[in-house]
Amino acid sequence: MAAALLLLAICLASPHATLPRRVYDWFIVLDITQSMNVRDYTDEHNSGRNISRLELAKQAIRQSLRNLPCGSQVALGLFTERETLNIVRPLEVCTHFSALDQTVSRMDWRMAWAADSFIAHGIYSAIEQAPKLGKHMHIAFITDGNQAPPVNEKYMPAFVGKPGNVQGTIFGAGKTELSPIPKLDEHDNITGYWDQEEVMQFGTFGMAEVLSVLAMEGHQASRNEGHSPGAALLENAHLSGVDESNLQRLSKTTGLEYSKLDSSHQLAQQLTASRMATWRTADTDLRPWLAVPALILLIAFFIPAWVFKSIQGYLIGLPLHLTRKKAS
């Protein structure tokens, strides 16, 4: 009893020590393009309410911050157009939890500096930045994989890095079924949906073919007739679903893993997977290591004496029973 009370008294002092432990370093990048506003998830905390891919992703990141052990480092980034922008340098999750959590909660589609969405450029940009943020930095890139405007394969960028040199996971957000992309007001209320004529269908230089006005008019005319070779690609440009084939191709190209994001808890589980861990000395809370033995001692103190005698008799008789069983 005295030993248990002593251990509990030490716990009250909140003892800490610097010890080797398994930690995780992540550069978490969130796609904030408009297709991420599609509400094809159900809120896990408010049954029946539909929430956007962006909102589910933010819930998942905040849950992950709570699950990462002290000593882990997290950097944050945003993706839109062709670039991943690092907005928060690596911070230790326990010391800076509040700052990281509040930053994620305020991530918003209005922060986008352009309407284009070229996923390959964004992922390659994140991979290029990761080693500069930390030796063991991994990438968690959350996106629906939608390209806006649609991709011309002839102008896809080449990956110049070594596949697998930077580890991490591309998380595909959204359902595979196509849904209309909403227009939102200043309070995030849906005021309408983008239609086919409104969405950008000709890419800027470096992704789509550069056409003359005459060629574009001819293309438009043939589109209206339904015979254009690009008609199938463009007819659903105003709709959005997670483009798993595109993301899986990028996963294979870069050596990153791919996982479809189905729940907020899934991201937290994968960000703490043992294969993504790094061993490093870190400040460690010793209270769990003291509280558990104290609890065991307290339970042992209050167990009746006859229980101990029964256990003792069983343990003494067990070797004899096993010997007789072997002999028979």
Quick: pLDDT tens for 137-165. 999 999 999 887 776 666 678 898 899 99
> Would the pLDDT of 280 be above 50?
yes
- % of the chain surpassing 90 pLDDT: 51
- Where is pLDDT greater, at 255 or 153? 255
For range 225-233, the mean pLDDT: 49
> Would the pLDDT of 222 be above 70?
no
Q: For position 63, what pLDDT does the model report?
A: 96
Where in the chain does DSSP place strands (E)? 16-23, 25-31, 41-42, 50-51, 73-80, 83-92, 138-143, 168-173, 179-180, 182-184, 190-193, 239-240, 257-261, 278-285
CB neighbour list of residue 2: distance below 8 Å, 6 or more residues apart: none
For range 95-113, the mean pLDDT: 94
- Where is pLDDT greater, at 290 or 217? 290
Q: For position 226, what pLDDT does the model report?
A: 46
Pairing of strands 73-80, 179-180: unpaired
Out of 207-211, 263-267, 304-308, pick the least confident: 207-211
| Comma-separated ranges of CATH 3.40.50.410 domains in the chain | 25-276
Confidence of residue 12 (pLDDT cuts 50, 70, 90): confident
Contact predicate 155/207, CB 8 Å: yes
Q: For position 210, what pLDDT does the model report?
A: 47
> Would the pLDDT of 125 be above 70?
yes
- Where is pLDDT greater, at 223 or 167? 167
- % of the chain surpassing 70 pLDDT: 80
Peptide bond into 288 cis (omega under 30): no
Confidence of residue 233 (pLDDT cuts 50, 70, 90): low
> Would the pLDDT of 317 be above 50?
yes
> Would the pLDDT of 231 be above 70?
no
> Would the pLDDT of 327 be above 80?
no
Class of domain 25-276: alpha beta
CB neighbour list of residue 167: distance below 8 Å, 6 or more residues apart: 138, 139, 255, 256, 257, 276
Contact predicate 47/1, CB 8 Å: no
For range 126-143, the mean pLDDT: 96
CA distance 105 to 139: 20
Q: For position 79, what pLDDT does the model report?
A: 96
Q: For position 229, what pLDDT does the model report?
A: 43
Handedness of CA 43, 49, 52, 58 (dihedral sign): negative
pLDDT tens digits along 113-124? 877 788 999 999
For range 234-250, the mean pLDDT: 88
> Would the pLDDT of 207 be above 70?
no
Confidence of residue 206 (pLDDT cuts 50, 70, 90): very low
The token pair at 244 is: 């798993």
> Would the pLDDT of 41 be above 80?
yes
CA distance 197 to 105: 33
Mean pLDDT (the chain) is: 83
> Would the pLDDT of 228 be above 50?
no
Least Cα distance to 208 among 259, 250, 152, 255 occurs for 152
